Structure 1
């Protein structure tokens, strides 16, 4: 098996107005390469305090220790892997958890806008093009996940998939289990204290006409320990029209690799994957459903 680890990028130059352009340029070069290769990287000095991340993970562990009937009272989203979420309209969370999720949401909303602007520049797009295209933040949300320990007969966590949104942030505990696929092989994303894992979603892949990749990833459950993590989803408004941008098609003489579609149409198809699981992996709907045959 080939040795590989996803790159880690220090975002502090983007928060420091006096930072030299060279440090930003170096960071963007690393991000651009990761996005074009596999869509996965980690960031440090991203604006979310380590103390808040630690507190959030501890609250998640406490939440899952509650009896099932108590968890159901606190959140309608409770389940094996999707216990509680927040998108400025919290659903029956206890006051302490709601406060933490709101604070996480506030920090990561800002980091999401920053990362969107970095991706915009890495793609060579006009300033603020992605921000103006994706100017509705009402669909962003943060979710807490728990993956129970693997058993002798079942180590499934979340099977391989790509995220359907724009950009995802994940912070995880020390247990591990997150993996990314690159060149047909699976590689672990080793937990790094204080770091955020960043992966691009299908929306960016379509807009860039495959210049940047939507990261294929999965979670493999570990033996003997539960895994706790949080995901923040920098999303898109459901009625938004998606198609490859002209900067990557008409303006450079390249044919579009996807037909246009309304985002909620894709959301509906992805939801059907969960409510009516296909009998074979080949029947699972991916963004390739909208791909134009070559």
Structure 2
């Protein structure tokens, strides 16, 4: 669990509260205050996540993306600062054990939808270089570390 405090920032258009990233865990459950600031990227655009009183935001992480064969997506997200209000949030990260093997659930592998990821160890994944923003510039992406485990069309996986 992590508590986050973002103070007011007079240069909120130039300072990130938390740079763009994808969560490496299974799920992140987030409780945020009414100030907002969480944004997700979709279709190349950053969209603010609405704050709803007494609600939780659930982010899918990379491990669930891999295990669901890409059916669930780990979204690129960030937190922006606010020039007039401080922000508080609490994040609970649902992780696997460090010795766990991650792989696509067998029931989600079909002839029409083969496995997208090869099995890998969580410890191996967590030791890979991490580019927090997955960005080399504002608009250009670095390869995401989960992509290292993608199966290429010429690869084969035994079911």
Q: Compute the TM-score of the two structures, normalised by the length of structure 2.
A: 0.81
Hey, what's the Cα distance between the residues in 1 that align with 2:82 and 2:100? 38
2:53 aligns with 193
CA deviation profile, 1:43-76 (whole Å, cap 9, x unmatched) = xxxxxxxxxxxxxxxxxxxxxxxxxxxxxxxxxx
Q: Quick check: 1:228 aligned with 2:84? A: no
Higher relative contact order (CA 8 A, sep 6+): 2
Distance 1:143 1:279, change over 3 A: closer
Q: What secondary structure does 1:174 align onto?
A: coil
Spell out the pairing of 1:20-39 with structure 2 (5 A cutoff): none
1:287 counterpart (141, 146, 156): 146
1:146 aligns with 5
Q: Mind listing any 5+ residue stretches in structure 2 that lack a counterpart? A: 154-159
Distance 1:289 1:173, change over 3 A: same
CA deviation profile, 1:155-201 (whole Å, cap 9, x unmatched) = 21212221111111111112110012223322211222111111111
2:107 aligns with 247
Spell out the pairing of 1:176-191 with structure 2 (5 A cutoff): 176-191=36-51
Deviation of 1:237 (Å): 0.4
Deviation of 1:283 (Å): 4.2
Distance 1:160 1:211, change over 3 A: same
Q: Count how many residue pairs are aligned between Structure 1 and Structure 2.
A: 148
Rg (Cα) greater in structure: 1
Q: What secondary structure does 1:257 align onto?
A: coil
2:124 counterpart (255, 265, 269): 265
Going by fraction, where is helix more abundant, 1 or 2? 1
Going by fraction, where is strand more abundant, 1 or 2? 2
